[in-house]
Amino acid sequence: MIIAIDVGSSTPIYTQLMYQLKKGIVKGELKQGESLPSVRALAGDIGVNMHTVNKAYNLLAEEGILQKNQKGFFVHAPESESPDTQIQQQLKEKLEEILIDASIHQIRAETLTQWTADILKELKGEKDSHVDL
């Protein structure tokens, strides 16, 4: 799996890492139960500090996406329960921000739906995604 980090970006490295890992899971490149590279190994590979990777891993574990034990971190089984209300609320707020920005910059609905389709197509490359339009 390829992980691309932009150290010059204003978004924290650990946040970028979290999204890259989530992306890998959604794309099926990281399968359920599969163990992740060790904190130190991944840190060495992508050239960042061990603690930065550690923070990303632990935040994903708190979100329930990874699980950890003394052997390391591994992909957690997806919960079939309906997602937490808090998570839903956060997603709605992010969605509202996008829609406000899109609206103010006069981006047409067709463009947005096209983008959505493109992104889902990329995510669904190897595996069925849970969000189908």
Partner DNA sequence: GTGGTCTAGACCACT
Partner DNA sequence: GTGGTCTAGACCACG
Which residues sit at the interface with DNA, rule CB under 7 A?
A: 7, 10, 12-15, 36, 38-41, 47-52, 54-55, 57-58, 68, 70-73
Q: Which does 126 bind (CB under 5 to 8 A by kind): DNA, a copy of itself, none?
A: none
Kindly tell me which residue out of 2, 85, 104, 126 binds a copy of itself, with binding defined by CB under 8 A: 104
Tell me how far apart the alpha carbons of residues 49 and 104 are, in angstroms, rounded to a whole number: 39
What are the residues facing 25 on neighbouring strands? none
9 binds a copy of itself (CB under 8 A): yes
The Cβ-side half-sphere exposure at 59, using a 13 Å CA radius, reads 15
38 binds a copy of itself (CB under 8 A): no
Tell me how far apart the alpha carbons of residues 17 and 52 are, in angstroms, rounded to a whole number: 9
85 binds a copy of itself (CB under 8 A): no
Tell me how far apart the alpha carbons of residues 44 and 38 are, in angstroms, rounded to a whole number: 10
Q: What is the dihedral of CA 65, 76, 14, 22, to 10 degrees?
A: -70
102 binds a copy of itself (CB under 8 A): yes
Kindly tell me which residue out of 2, 4, 8, 47 binds a copy of itself, with binding defined by CB under 8 A: 8
Tell me how far apart the alpha carbons of residues 31 and 123 are, in angstroms, rounded to a whole number: 14
Bridge-based pairing state of the strands 72-75 and 66-69 = antiparallel
As measured in angstroms, the least distance from the Cβ of 31 to a copy of itself is 13
As measured in angstroms, the least distance from the Cβ of 45 to a copy of itself is 19
Kindly tell me which residue out of 1, 44, 88, 125 binds a copy of itself, with binding defined by CB under 8 A: 88
